[in-house]
Amino acid sequence: MTTKYEPFVAPKTAERIAVYPGTFDPITMGHLDIINRGLSLFDRVIIAVAVNVAKKPLFTLEERLEMIQACFPEDEKRIVVDSVSGLIVDYAYMKGAKAIIRGLRAVSDFDYEFQLALMNRRLEREIETVFLMTGFRWIYISSSIIKDAARYGGDVSGLVPDHICDKLREVYLRAAKS
């Protein structure tokens, strides 16, 4: 005798919001992979472009915000692009997020990210950290590697969205002329 069970469906009480922080200088296909997979878990993902005084970005904050927004022209309801300075966990709390998404490429990323997650957990127990592995296609790329390749004339098409590839060429062409 077989008994048919109805699947449990949790009542939808509140929007599930996650924050995906980073400098995104520039955003890569690996970042987009993490964002798209984050959207399968959360109702809304806030891409929080960090102002990090320790880093010297190639693109201004405004340029990074515009480049990221251009990646999601039709998804204004589920994707929010914003800037943030200060503690990400405080920002996430202020935005009503339940999670911070962190992308991992390799085991070497895990140690730092795990420490960061533990500190965030200590600062705000209500916010979880969700680790998502970058797709195998993108595991070897980072914004720094992309910039280095583009700086020396390497073809980075397919590793970043087309409009960002164009921006990289434009920046490095301008630098070569000066």
Q: In this structure, what token pair is assigned to residue 90?
A: 């405080």
Render pLDDT for 65-123 as a digit per residue (tens, 0 to 9).
999 999 998 877 899 999 999 999 999 999 999 999 999 987 778 889 999 999 999 99
> pLDDT tens-digit profile of 25-47?
999 999 999 999 999 999 999 99
Active-site annotation holds for 105: yes
Positive or negative torsion for Cα 149, 72, 129, 124:
positive
* 44 catalytic per annotation: no
Please state, in angstroms and as integers, the Cα–Cα distance from residue 77 to each residue in 42, 80, 114, 151, following that order.
12, 7, 30, 35
Which helix (H) or strand (E) segment holds residue 101: the answer is strand 99-104
Note if 95 is an active site residue: no
CATH architecture of 17-137: 3-Layer(aba) Sandwich (3.40)
What is the reported pLDDT for 75?
Answer: 75
Please say if the pLDDT value at position 10 is more than 60: no
> For this structure, is 163 an active site residue?
no
Mean pLDDT of 131-159: 93
Percent of the chain with pLDDT over 90: 75
Compute CA distances 122 → 89, 103, 116, 125, 128, whole Å.
10, 20, 10, 6, 11
Spot the catalytic one: 16, 105, 121, 169: 105
DSSP letters of 107-161?
HHHHHHHHHHHHHHHHH-TT-EEEEEEPPGGGTT--HHHHHHHHHTT---BTTB-
Q: What is the structure's pLDDT at 1?
A: 53
Catalytic residue among 64, 102, 143, 167: 143
